[in-house]
Amino acid sequence: YIVAYFGIVIFTLLILKIVSLFQKIEFSGLVYLAPVAIGTLLIKFLLGNRYLMVTAIIFSICGSIMFNEDVNGAINYSTGIYILFSSIAVLFLNEERNKRSMIIHAGLLISLVNIATLLALMLIRNGQYSSIEIGIYLLMGLTSGVLSSVITMGILPFVEDSFGMVSSFKLVELGS
């Protein structure tokens, strides 16, 4: 379980690092497109809720350091808040349904939390955003949540087989 946990955390941090390499592009909100909830979704389905808060905090701290916009090395607080809320949204999933379709519902919930977080961050910054910028940010938040669930659904069987773990989804599939 320890190897699986650290493997998932390192995989998610690698995804964040790959996305952060593209921050040289003129558009500064590229982090909102990163599917950061992959790690917390995998940990929830394979290891349970026990490690989710610590993992969400680790992802938010590492993400805010990776996506710092200042030359001075200041931490990007808005990125950290976005990643934290996106990761914490996984805690509020309904665990009664053990079907793979629940992963898609998780993606939609994460997308809603991402959109709400982005709207709150825009209001806190009190910046002058055009309607196109607002639409792009909200579309990126929606895409991030859906992309997280789709990628999770695709790699969950490989992670189960690699670490010799069995999720509740696989048990339901084997039982029917």
pLDDT given for residue 174 in this prediction: 65
Beta strand segments in the chain, E: none
CA distance 142 to 112: 7
pTM of the model: 0.86
Residues 63, 80 contacting (CB under 8 angstroms):
yes
pLDDT given for residue 98 in this prediction: 59
CA distance 65 to 73: 8
28: enclosing H helix or E strand: none
pLDDT given for residue 115 in this prediction: 94
In this prediction, the residues of the chain whose per-residue pLDDT falls under 70 are 25-28, 69-74, 94-99, 167-176
CA distance 89 to 37: 9
pLDDT given for residue 38 in this prediction: 92
In angstroms, how far is the first alpha carbon of the chain from the final one? 27
